[in-house]
A and B are shown apart, each in its own frame.
Chain A
Amino acid sequence: MGDTPTRDEVRAAYEAAMGVAVAVTRSKQRAVDYVQAAFESFLSGARPWVRSKGPFDKHMMGAVRSIISNARVARREERDSKAHATFQENVGNEAASAEERNLRQAEDEERDAGVVDELGALEASLGDNEDARAVLQCRRASEEPLKAAEIAQRTGIPVGRVYRANELIREHLQKLRARRETDDE
């Protein structure tokens, strides 16, 4: 079991967790749901807090981050699973195993090629936005995932501009995907 926060620490942690959730979801109700889920996991003992390891607000921000991230992964997996089921329906369950393997391999190769294309298209879409291009190139050249502060350190771009560049890159990625989905239909 972990430590017990004070009333002031719980308030500060709730504010901080809401700050993160609202910034990410841009929805008050969804933010409340995620924060509530994070605190429930703390109360149940699933995410114990140890005072000596850091402040409670930081602990709860991490909990909210993790819950939102898990929800996204679950949604992505559900989407992929539905897409796979549709593919299977279209191909037919009676396909010979060798043929099925070939089709699956082709599907994987197509997906890999799509990812490379998507990254290339994303980079091209950034045009002459130097910060965004530098941030994307920095991510591509890195051996590990990078936080904004680390990108700022490596590129010399102030961290506030890295946040804005990240936002722009995400917007472009969403637009590219939306356009591709429209084209597919």
Chain B
Amino acid sequence: MSKRKPEDVLKDIEGSDLDDAVEQVAAMTAEQRRDALKAAGVDVAEVHAKADALYERLQRAEPARAKRSPARIVVPIAAVAAVAALAAAVIPQLSQNVASPESTPPDAGTDGADATPRG
């Protein structure tokens, strides 16, 4: 029994060359890809030259790309988060000490650092 519409099946068939080509090329090693290109009459050196030209364009465009990069936003956010975390850790301790400086027992530490009896 057919579960898909006939026109959908026909569209799948028509587009199967694209999916097959992507799958096949993805499964190849770099050397196999170059061999396949050579077999199709493609000059691999020319392909590399075109790729290098695109890379150079990419490099020239990089400052503009970097200006729009999320990294410029992430760094300040990370800095603000770090300051906030530090403040969250330090402020309760400070306020506790300010509120009752005498209430802290001399041996409150668990690592023994403050366990020395006070004279």
Interface, chain A (partner B; CB < 8 A): 1, 4-5, 7, 10-16, 18-20, 22-24, 28, 31-32, 36, 39, 43, 45, 58, 61-62, 65, 68-69, 72, 112, 115-116, 118-119, 122, 136, 139-149, 159, 163, 166-167, 169-170, 173
Further 19 A-B residue pairs, CB within 8 A, beyond A15-B47, A23-B25, A31-B42: A5-B58, A10-B54, A11-B52, A15-B30, A15-B51, A16-B25, A20-B18, A23-B24, A28-B42, A39-B54, A43-B61, A62-B22, A65-B21, A118-B10, A136-B13, A143-B4, A149-B23, A170-B16, A170-B17
Q: How far is the CA of A20 from the CA of B7 in the complex (A)?
A: 25
Stretch at the interface among B33-41, B90-98, B105-113: B33-41
B41-84 CB contacts (< 8 Å) to partner A? 41-42, 44, 47-48, 50-52, 54-55, 57-58, 61-62, 65, 68-70
Question: B residues within 8 A CB of A13?
Answer: 51
Residues of B within 8 A of A140 (CB): 2-4, 9
User: When the two chains form their complex, are residues B8 and A145 in contact, meaning their CB atoms are under 8 A apart?
Assistant: yes
Q: Which B residues are closer than 8 A to A by beta carbons? A: 1-4, 6-10, 12-26, 28, 30, 33-34, 36-37, 40-42, 44, 47-48, 50-52, 54-55, 57-58, 61-62, 65, 68-70
Query: B14, B48, B52, B61: which contacts A170 (Cβ < 8 A)?
Result: B14
- Residues in A neighbouring B16, C-beta threshold 8 A: 148, 166, 169-170
Instruction: Determine which residue in A5, A22, A32, A43 has the highest number of CB atoms from chain B within 10 A of its CB, and name it.
Output: A22
Residues of chain A within 8 A of B7, CB atoms compared: 112, 115
> Which A residues are CB-close (under 8 A) to B1?
141
CA distance A15 to B47 in the complex (A): 7
Partner of A18, one of B19, B22, B37, B61: B37
A7→B52 contact, CB < 8 A? yes
Known: A4-B65, A10-B51. A141 touches B3 (CB 8 A): yes
A18-B37, A61-B25 as given contacts; A24 in contact with B54, CB under 8 Å: no
Contact of A43 among B24, B41, B57 (CB under 8 A): B57
CB distance from B48 to the nearest CB of A (A): 6
Partner of B3, one of A4, A32, A143: A143
Contact call A1/B70, Cβ cutoff below 8 A: yes
B10 & A119 in contact (Cβ 8 Å cutoff): yes
A43 to B9, Cβ gap below 8 A? no
Minimal beta-carbon separation of A66 from chain B (angstroms): 9
- Considering the chains assembled together, what is the distance between the CA atoms of A4 and B54 in angstroms? 12
Q: Shortest beta-carbon distance, B9 to chain A, in Å?
A: 5
Contacts of A136 in B (CB 8 A): 9, 13
Provide the residues of chain A in CB contact with B3, threshold 8 Å.
140-143
